[in-house]
A and B are shown apart, each in its own frame.
Chain A
């Protein structure tokens, strides 16, 4: 077997290099992919490299950039609002991902049951995902309104005085986390696809072994779904760490900077203060934060993600 592997691969490689069909296919591939490749290089890669250069400059857009060395990074590490925004971002990111992943997973399990009107329920739960961000924000401003909002009215029914949500600095981020579950439809769809890919034989075997619903969930569903959960955690966290639109519309970073996220802070520096150099440095800090958090997740994934389906 050790000798057979190269024997099998090498002719294939030679064939790909020399076959006219393969060359045509390769040309077609790059032809069709070229708009995306060019777009990525020009509009993705270009600004990324430019942002790195600008992070070492002072630039107000209207003036000529001047070399600043590490000044922007020194300013960043001495800026209390940078740390505040990092803390808020991580708090919101972690909270929204945990709540979102758990809620959407449980909803996906419910929507995977064979009940009448399943299509209707799946549509209802997916629908919020297609509502525009600003409309969602305005809707939730009303839902979270302290006196007459839906949530506090519901709590009042049980004799509980609800918090000030978006106007109370201790409750503003929990309010935003609560709202983030609203857009769980996309995640639910991914979970549903994963759930339907689990072989029924595994559940049958578990039943034969006398497993109850919890054992089947914990020892069959969760391990089999772990790659999907991992995918959702990684992508959701990356999105949450870049939270910007909803915060801008709902709280503008307030009250008392309690919801000042890194994305909003970068926006302010770039397009309110026109300090593009500092904004670029903050952008790279965000990139580093996302990179570190994602790398950490990949390391931890070795302990709980199973690809042996």
Chain B
């Protein structure tokens, strides 16, 4: 299940003039251009509030926790640490509330919070540019998809010594699947803060109208297929789809979610070999695609264009959405129909789903690593996760001990117990594509799959073509 992977690049000779020229240019252009998309909050000296996060509630919640004490002593004089986040503007308010209370507890640690917005792509551009300019923050957010690039380049500090020296940290409290993305050579480089499994979201109204029983924990792949076929109906703008989004290899989770339960695989576990052209893998892909090719159970490219690329489930036009549990909060706020979450069904060859998330790291060149650890330890403690995730309805906490508060809250959707169950039992990182070659793989398979979706290329031929196209790209996953 675990994933020590190779980084994108390694072992370069030094060319100082190039580095200087490149760093200057990128830092000047990239960082300055992207700075306009981000916000920076100098040390928070007052309690910021919003309609979503009133100050009185925040104060009350904060006061209800025993925040404990780190084994690392607070600095004797004032120090400042910079923390990089990837929050939406609304959720950044909650972050600033946490920082305010943290600074009250640790008067000698000042926090400067940077927020690049909730686009991973923008975040990555900004902090890759800053890495090139040698100006990374002390603590930074990172996602499962790109953490290994930073780890491999030496940008993050191994946290094992801090973790082992912290009696109350309790590593076993973290869902096992959440930690693997941030390990390398036996060392842990990040503390995961959220991790969500891919689940079934279902539209109760559509199920009822079609007379189909709602998904249950005991569902099998055949139950899923029967429901998808039975709920697909209509034509044109009034068409209802059984599944909201296309089945595609661009989905980096499709191996553990769709193929592995049917006995197929996309890549080998170390992402060095393509397995999609094996007969069992082709059969697994055909199992899904036959439903599209014969009954149009999910939107075609032109149907997607007709919905402005929007999610048919959110529009109330699909019975089932296959998505990570992180999609629940936006559905809770926006859906105009009754919905629920259920376990991903078991296939004839096994039961698995993908679980992915994000984490925070301390950068290796930080001059305030102790202060950064005190912050990280508190931020991702049980209390910190309840403050940031359980109480806000986001869910997906990585600490098992933070889940009861969420499950008891009004914000937990119907089926939230299934998320917790999946995260700690059958969810896996095995088969999730996240090696350094992932973007190239995605862009290489897209044009091939366009032809399958356009019905000008058969599934079997497409799988073989994908295999021959991306096999050379996988060298990047094993380089160095």
- A→B interface (CB under 8 Å): 42-43, 46-47, 49-51, 53-54, 56-67, 138, 141-142, 144-149, 164, 166-169, 252-257, 268, 271-274, 276
Contacts and interface: CB of A to CB of B under 8 A. Distances in A.
A65 B15 contact: yes
Contacts of B135: none
B238 to A, nearest CB: 11
B70 interface: no
A58 B19 CA distance: 10
Contact of B440 (A61, A144, A169, A273): A273
Given A62-B128, A147-B302, A53 B10 contact: no
B302 A43 contact: no
Given A64-B12, A268-B443, A254 B450 contact: yes
A65 B23 CA distance: 10
B93 interface: no
Nearest to A67: B15
A169 B15 CA distance: 43
A60 B150 CA distance: 11
Sorting the interface of chain B by its residue count into under 10, 10 to 19, 20 to 34 or 35 or more gives 35 or more
Interface of B: 7-10, 12-15, 17-19, 21-22, 24-26, 28-29, 32, 121, 124-125, 128-129, 131-132, 149-150, 152-153, 155, 236-237, 300-303, 305-306, 308-309, 439-440, 443, 446-448, 450-451, 454
A66 B149 CA distance: 17
Contact of A46 (B28, B125, B454): B28
A47 B27 CA distance: 10
A53 B12 contact: no
Contact of B305 (A43, A62, A167): A167
Contact of A63 (B12, B29, B440, B448): B12
A54 B25 CA distance: 10
A42 B28 contact: yes
Contact of B14 (A61, A64, A144): A64
B302 A268 contact: no
B15 A254 contact: no
B132 A62 contact: yes
Given A49-B21, A62-B128, A57 B301 contact: no
A251 to B, nearest CB: 10
B443 to A, nearest CB: 6
B8 A274 contact: yes
B441 to A, nearest CB: 11
B419 to A, nearest CB: 30
A43 B33 CA distance: 10
A43 B26 CA distance: 10
A254 B445 CA distance: 11
B257 to A, nearest CB: 23
18 contacts: A43-B29, A57-B15, A61-B129, A62-B150, A63-B8, A63-B9, A63-B10, A65-B22, A67-B18, A141-B309, A147-B236, A149-B306, A253-B446, A255-B451, A256-B451, A268-B443, A273-B439, A276-B26
B443 A256 contact: no
Given A64-B19, A257-B447, A148 B132 contact: no
A255 B301 contact: yes
Contacts of A53: 17-18, 21-22
B18 A65 contact: yes
Contacts of A64: 12-15, 19
B66 to A, nearest CB: 39
Nearest to B457: A256
A268 B439 contact: yes
Given A43-B29, A145-B302, A257-B447, A62 B8 contact: yes
A60 B19 CA distance: 11
B451 A62 contact: no
A53 to B, nearest CB: 5
Q: Which of A46, A58, A147 has the most CB of B within 10 A?
A: A147
Contacts of A47: 25, 28-29
A9 to B, nearest CB: 42
A17 B131 CA distance: 49
Contacts of A58: 9, 12
B447 A256 contact: yes
Given A66-B12, A255-B450, A61 B132 contact: yes
B31 to A, nearest CB: 11
Contact of B22 (A59, A148, A257): A59
A63 B22 CA distance: 11
Contacts of B308: 138, 141-142
B300 to A, nearest CB: 8
Given A57-B18, A167-B301, A167-B454, 18 more contacts: A50-B21, A50-B26, A53-B18, A53-B22, A56-B18, A62-B9, A63-B10, A63-B153, A66-B15, A141-B308, A145-B306, A147-B236, A164-B302, A166-B305, A253-B446, A271-B128, A272-B440, A273-B439
Contacts of B29: 43, 47
A56 B22 CA distance: 11
A166 B301 CA distance: 9
B20 to A, nearest CB: 9
A201 to B, nearest CB: 51
Nearest to A51: B25
Contacts of A276: 22, 26
